Amino acid sequence: MNEFINFDEISRETWQNLYKTSLAPLTKDELDSIRSLNDEISLKDVSDVYLPLVHLLRVYKKNLEDMSFTKGLFLQKIVKTPPLIIGISGSVAVGKSTTARLLKVLLSRAFGNTSVALVTTDGFLYSNKELESQGILDQKGFPESYDMERLLDFLYKMKSGQDAEIPVYSHEFYDIVENETQKIANPDILIVEGINVLQNPDNQLLYISDFYDFSIYVDADEKMIEKWFRERFDSLLKMAKNDPQNFYHQFTKLSDERIEELISETWQNINLRNLHEYIEPTRNRAEVIIHKAAKHYIDKLYLKKF
């Protein structure tokens, strides 16, 4: 059975013609500040791919506003429009963080006074201490390593128009930062990015997918993702070389052979397994699948039919 049976495949050339503009809303310097480690993105990607995507999101936001207004007429009371919540998922190292940050900037500019917030689900990981006490530190990033109940509670507060504070995760220290939180103050648009964005916890009355108005899955061939993961790991080691406080500093003292073994083990036993068992199976829940080829070039997109 074709796994994309419920999607229309759209080439980059066709997609870019769905919304024509000659104006790039970002400068190259602004784009470079958004780009994640080892991710490649250009101003042409912005105009060809992301501006049409923002235009599509405008349609979804308008539909959400119209539904709230119509519901208010039915209930004979004012119904406040809830925030448009956008979920962005995909494998480790596929570039979803860049997509999330870029959309935040573009949506903020496209909607003027609209407030746009971005959170990553890394903040909902259990601390290393908690993972160690549960004996699952080596399964960090797998569904059981996340406080899904807290994530669901956060999304519920957002949809209900409440403010919320969430934990902060540091990739530099590879752990939750103690006594530090990120406050999210009732945004008009909320972007939620992470590998588990489209996953559903077991035995819940509410599902994460219930809260999303639009979802994106960033996709690529797994051999390509492995290449990007290896490049990113190498960059992280170089950045940590002179910083003993950095989590990755400990690995800079290993031999090249041992580092290669470590990268291979991490990819095969953690990232690839997580991709196969938990991340990729959620791909067809997305509204749009952004497919990347070599050098993070977006060659086609898939848009859900219904």
pLDDT digits (tens, 9 = 90+) for 172-181: 999 999 999 9
Q: DSSP class of residue 17?
A: T
24 is in an annotated binding site: no
92 is in an annotated binding site: yes
At 288, which amino acid appears? Answer: V
Q: Which helix (H) or strand (E) holds 233?
A: helix 222-240
Q: Which of 183, 51, 149 lies closest to 107, judged by CA?
A: 51
- SS (HEC) of 171-216: CCCCEEEEEEEEEEECCCEEEEECCCCCCCCCCCCCCHHHHCCEEE
22 is in an annotated binding site: no
Residue 140 DSSP SS3: coil
Residue 20's pLDDT is 76
Residue 19's pLDDT is 87
Strand 288-292 relative to strand 298-304, pairing: antiparallel
Torsion of CA 154, 160, 163, 167, to 10 degrees: 0
On the question of pLDDT at 1 being above 50, the answer is: no
On the question of pLDDT at 203 being above 80, the answer is: no
96 is in an annotated binding site: yes
Tokens of 63: 């539909």
112 is in an annotated binding site: no
Q: Tens digit of pLDDT for each residue in 149-160?
A: 999 999 999 999
Residue 123's pLDDT is 97
Angle at which helix 222-240 crosses helix 256-266, to 10 degrees, equals: 130
* Residue 253 Ramachandran class (φ > 0 left, ψ -120 to 50 alpha, else beta): alpha
Q: DSSP class of residue 146?
A: B
Tokens of 174: 């590879």
72 is in an annotated binding site: no
Domain ranges of the chain: 7-304
Residue 165 DSSP SS3: strand
| pLDDT band, residue 26 (cuts 50/70/90) | confident
Residue 145's pLDDT is 96
Q: Which fold has domain 7-304?
A: Rossmann fold (3.40.50)
Q: Tens digit of pLDDT for each residue in 236-252?
A: 999 999 999 999 999 99
Q: Which helix (H) or strand (E) holds 228?
A: helix 222-240
194 is in an annotated binding site: no
97 is in an annotated binding site: yes
Angle at which helix 96-110 crosses helix 51-75, to 10 degrees, equals: 60
- The mean pLDDT value for 262-280 works out to 96
